[in-house]
Amino acid sequence: MEALNRLCHCISVDQVALRGELATKLGGRGLSGTLLDTHPNLFAPLPVFIGRGHLDEMARVVAAVERLVATPLFRSTALGWASAVARFDPGIRGGLLGFDFHLGPHGPRLIEINTNPGGALLNALLLGAQQVCCSGAAQLASLPLDPAAVEQSLCDVLLAEWRMQRGGAALQSLAIVDESPLQQYLYPEFLLYQQALGRRGVHVLIADPHEIVERNGRLWVGDRPIDMIYNRLTDFALGQPVVEHVKSAYLAGSVVLSPNPRAHALYANKRNLCLLGDPAFLNAAGADPDDAEILARAVPHTELMTDANRADLWVRRRALFFKPIGGYGSKAAYRGDKITHRVWAEIAEREYIAQELVTPSERHASAESITPLKVDVRNYAYAGAVSLVAARLYQGQTTNFRTPGGGFAPVLTERVTTPHNAPAHG
């Protein structure tokens, strides 16, 4: 499959089909005709090829993380360094997760986990917008998932969160909440969720936290009470004054919040990466031996940056990647070989982890391209099961939507052949 990533440029995103899908999904919302123009680097023109062995291994990592997070030692350790609000258990899993991998010669390596991963529904659209102009390549690769099934599974995540906390009560209103949502780069995805959940009978509002008020023990947006919040805020601990009423409602149980501070503390706090790949901790936590082997292999060595190891980390910096514990979206994250003395002094004032540098795999955009694009692979998962696998193509230190030819890319893999003597499915 790596040969296809180097040499195959004849399977591409069908721009006509994609525009048609966007027009169908976002028609009348002021975005359908111009999204590919206003967001020129949102969708990459080429897919990424990933072998089924790598896909299966990533799925095993996701499942192993889920089982480890369920152990008492992991929970007590992760919650021990989390905020006080994260120790409140609302009784739900905490929503969709994004497991980000780099693929290398030794298999997939898990570089981080996110609790509000963007792009899932946008990537679902990409699955149905492929055009194949080379019959040989078409025989080698096929879509791993069905677009309609992906949309259904992503909506089911939010509905499952609701039922876990509210049982059989009807979900009538849900608010997608983010700061200045109209200015968010992935605002179109909010509209896709609004439409998809609307078809399931849920009234969906898209709101800034300033628009939410508390009245009579409920949260309201305008004249509508809110049953549930799909939380896209990056204030993971709900510590800002503008969301104080949201935090109060969450703690009182008057609103279902997904993802929530507890989920972030258990899955996405980057300090947890120090535990996930540590064989001694995995053994102490009672991890299944197979899970311990999978995680120790997949998670790069990660350590907390302290005054005691700071000098040693500087010496070893070229082989490390530095990330802020409370960071998101690659903000303030640095490759060690790119760090200046000024930046090194600045990060000493914050909590950082130092992670073994894992070089991403590459995708060549054309036969003439001199500089290939880097590849991050994201597994969107819930309850230990993967719903969607997508790639992000970029140049630079971290993922972005500024690289020409970069952006979200669909993942293609080998076809599954059914033995002649195997029973038919369906």
CA torsion, points 281, 286, 287, 292, in degrees to nearest 10? 50
CA distances from 133 to 9, 137, 407, 409 (A): 10, 8, 22, 18
CA torsion, points 109, 113, 116, 118, in degrees to nearest 10? -10
Model confidence at 133: pLDDT above 70: no
110: left (phi over 0), alpha (psi -120 to 50) or beta: beta
pLDDT at residue 390, rounded to an integer: 94
Model confidence at 64: pLDDT above 90: yes
Characterize the bridge pairing of strands 320-324 and 228-231.
unpaired
pLDDT at residue 46, rounded to an integer: 87
Model confidence at 131: pLDDT above 90: no
pLDDT at residue 425, rounded to an integer: 37
pTM: 0.93
To which H or E segment does residue 407 belong?
A: strand 407-412
Contact between residue 272 and residue 325 where contact means Cβ atoms under 8 Å apart: no
> How far is 170 from 191, CA to CA, in rounded Å?
22
Q: How many CB atoms lie within 10 A of CB 104?
A: 13
Confidence band (pLDDT; 50, 70, 90) for 147? confident
> How far is 117 from 291, CA to CA, in rounded Å?
24
CB neighbours of 374 closer than 8 A, spacing ≥ 6?
360, 361, 362, 363, 393, 394, 395
Model confidence at 422: pLDDT above 60: no
Per-position DSSP letters for 179-223, written without gaps between them: SSGGGSTTHHHHHHHHHHHHTTT-EEEEE-GGGEEEETTEEEETT
> How far is 30 from 42, CA to CA, in rounded Å?
17
Q: How many CB atoms lie within 10 A of CB 230?
A: 24
Residues 310-335 have pLDDT tens digits of 999 999 999 999 999 977 766 788 99
Contact between residue 284 and residue 341 where contact means Cβ atoms under 8 Å apart: no
Q: Classify 354 as helix, strand or coil.
A: strand
Could you give the percent of the chain with pLDDT greater than 70? 91
Contact between residue 343 and residue 334 where contact means Cβ atoms under 8 Å apart: yes
Average the pLDDT over each of 39-43, 68-72, 231-235, 251-255 and give the range with the smallest value: 39-43
Nearest residue to 58 (alpha-carbon basis) of 413, 331, 327: 413
